[in-house]
């Protein structure tokens, strides 16, 4: 912590959204301070743990080559990449949120997505094609699918390393183990923020505060209050420091809560994953996202979702909560030897919990389940599988008939040993509830008037995601609204300074 106690803009949080905000404010000429609640070795928020996939609207492979310039003409000629226009992105958001996403916020995210990616690249963030999870080889060409062809180099680790590097190059000051605990107002405008660092408390003077410190998912009591008592049992996939501080500080001075507080982004993650994100093992290594090729059974031996309802990009953020509802918050993904080679990379890691049996009986004997019902469910599933062409790269319509729930795509019989079971539980990523924010990043009071000097970005923006979300949209939303909040805050503050000079 320096001796300076006055800054143009103070950013609370130090993840993707926060640092995009800090960099953007710097570009406008503001003197910026970033407050990171955790120690330096635990910096980066939830963004540090992400797989790095970032959803962006683009019109052609040539657009993508602007952010992945290393792609040679020869490689480009061997790629088939369907266009993913702004209309496609917007429709995906509206479809998975059941039409509840606020149109003006969703449209801002979509329309600004590509220019924001180009802006990030200009600040040194490196992107690469998402070959591993979003493409397959067919007829000698690499076929992309799902509207998610780009990811950050070296996942969230690489993203945050470069954003911190760039912020420091631009002169952004960063205080660690420095928690913002109160926002100060004077004449109905932000005038400072109270900072707690160890035993020391001080007030930093500023006329612009950007809240980008995540949602409330790491606080068990708040999870229980807003999401339900069963959510106390959920694993926290990311940082332990997202405990709703920004929301409580903002609402204490009149900001309006907004969005789906009863909803969240959650996934099926390894049953033995750490209870909070492990900074020594980042990179989203515990997820288990090949479930559309599986059948999932609870410990009572029953299926409970249509595993093949859609591509994982459009179901994984809601199926975690379905697993949480099961007895002891556990489910088992079941595969046979025919499907096992098709599973994603995370199934091969040493951190993956896996049971293997040469026969189904041998497999089930290793599990803490109702064995008779487990075997009966698999037998009934096998009998219900209909004929058809199996194709894991598209919604193939290969389904079951006579089950509840049915499996509507990718239904193969589980009959070729050895057999595999992967136990999963629910991992929460972030809450969908946040603050009421306009498309420029200004935090709003009741009545939709801006709360002068207060801005927000990232997971603190309520009203974009409801029920579910299209994979990769979280990073993009953080970057888009971070950049917007940074520039809006800097212009507000510098304009305020100019007005003060004129008045004086």
How much is the mean pLDDT over the chain? 95
**Scanning the structure block, which residue is given the tokens 């009545």?**
447
| Angle, in degrees to the nearest 10, between helices 155-169 and 16-27 | 30
pTM (predicted TM-score): 0.93
When pLDDT is averaged across residues 163-170 and rounded to a whole number, the result is 98
pLDDT in tens, 313-371: 899 989 999 999 999 999 999 999 999 999 999 999 999 999 999 999 999 999 999 99
Q: Where are the beta strands (DSSP E) in 343-438?
A: 355-357, 419-431, 434-435
pLDDT in tens, 111-133: 999 999 999 999 999 999 999 88
- What is the rounded distance in angstroms from the CA atom of residue 327 to the CA atom of residue 305? 15
In this predicted structure, what is the pLDDT of residue 495? 86
pLDDT in tens, 202-226: 999 999 999 999 999 999 999 999 9
In this predicted structure, what is the pLDDT of residue 71? 95
Residues 6+ apart with CB under 8 A from 320: 234, 266, 267, 268, 269, 426, 427, 428
């Amino acid at each position: 912590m320096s001796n300076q106690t006055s800054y143009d803009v103070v950013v609370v949080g130090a993840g993707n959204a926060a640092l995009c905000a800090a960099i953007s404010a710097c570009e406008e000429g503001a003197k910026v301070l970033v407050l990171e609640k955790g120690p330096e070795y635990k910096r980066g928020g939830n963004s540090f743990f992400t797989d790095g996939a970032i959803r962006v609207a683009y019109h052609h492979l040539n657009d993508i080559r602007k952010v992945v310039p290393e792609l040679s003409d020869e490689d480009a000629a061997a790629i088939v990449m369907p266009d993913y226009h702004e209309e496609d992105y917007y429709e995906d958001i509206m479809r998975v949120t059941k039409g509840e996403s606020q149109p003006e916020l969703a449209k801002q995210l979509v329309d600004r997505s590509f220019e924001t990616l180009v802006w990030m690249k200009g600040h040194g963030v490196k992107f690469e094609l998402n070959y591993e999870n979003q493409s397959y080889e067919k007829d000698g060409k690499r076929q992309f699918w799902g509207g998610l062809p780009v990811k950050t180099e070296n996942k969230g680790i690489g993203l945050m390393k470069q954003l911190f590097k760039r912020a420091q190059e631009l002169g952004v000051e960063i205080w660690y183990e420095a928690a913002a605990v109160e926002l100060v107002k004077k004449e109905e405008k932000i005038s400072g923020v109270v900072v707690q660092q160890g035993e020391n408390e001080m007030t930093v003077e500023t006329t612009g505060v950007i809240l980008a410190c995540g949602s409330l998912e790491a606080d068990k009591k708040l999870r229980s209050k807003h999401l339900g008592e069963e959510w106390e049992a959920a694993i926290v996939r990311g940082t332990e420091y997202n405990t709703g501080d920004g929301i409580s500080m903002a609402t204490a001075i009149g900001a309006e809560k907004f969005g789906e507080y009863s909803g969240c982004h959650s996934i099926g993650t390894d049953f033995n994953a750490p209870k909070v994100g492990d900074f020594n093992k980042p990179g989203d290594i515990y997820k288990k996202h090949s479930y559309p090729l599986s059948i999932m059974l609870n410990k009572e031996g029953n299926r409970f979702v249509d595993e093949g309802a859609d591509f994982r990009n459009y179901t994984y953020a809601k199926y975690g909560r379905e697993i949480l509802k099961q007895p002891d918050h556990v489910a088992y993904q079941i595969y046979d030897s025919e499907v096992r080679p098709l599973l994603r990379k995370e199934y091969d890691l040493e951190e993956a919990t896996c049971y293997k049996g040469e026969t189904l009986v041998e497999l089930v004997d290793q599990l803490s389940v109702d064995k008779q019902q487990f075997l009966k469910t698999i037998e009934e599933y096998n009998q219900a599988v209909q004929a058809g062409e199996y194709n894991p790269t598209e919604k193939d319509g290969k389904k079951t008939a006579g089950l509840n729930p049915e499996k509507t795509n990718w239904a193969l019989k589980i009959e070729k040993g050895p057999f595999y079971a992967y136990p999963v539980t629910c991992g929460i990523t972030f809450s969908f509830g946040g603050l009421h924010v306009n498309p420029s990043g200004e935090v709003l009071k009741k009545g939709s008037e801006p709360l002068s000097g207060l801005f927000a970005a990232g997971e603190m923006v309520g009203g974009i995601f409801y029920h579910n979300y299209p994979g990769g949209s979280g990073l993009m939303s953080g970057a888009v609204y971070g950049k917007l909040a940074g520039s809006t805050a800097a212009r507000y503050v510098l304009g305020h300074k100019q007005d003060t000079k004129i008045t004086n």
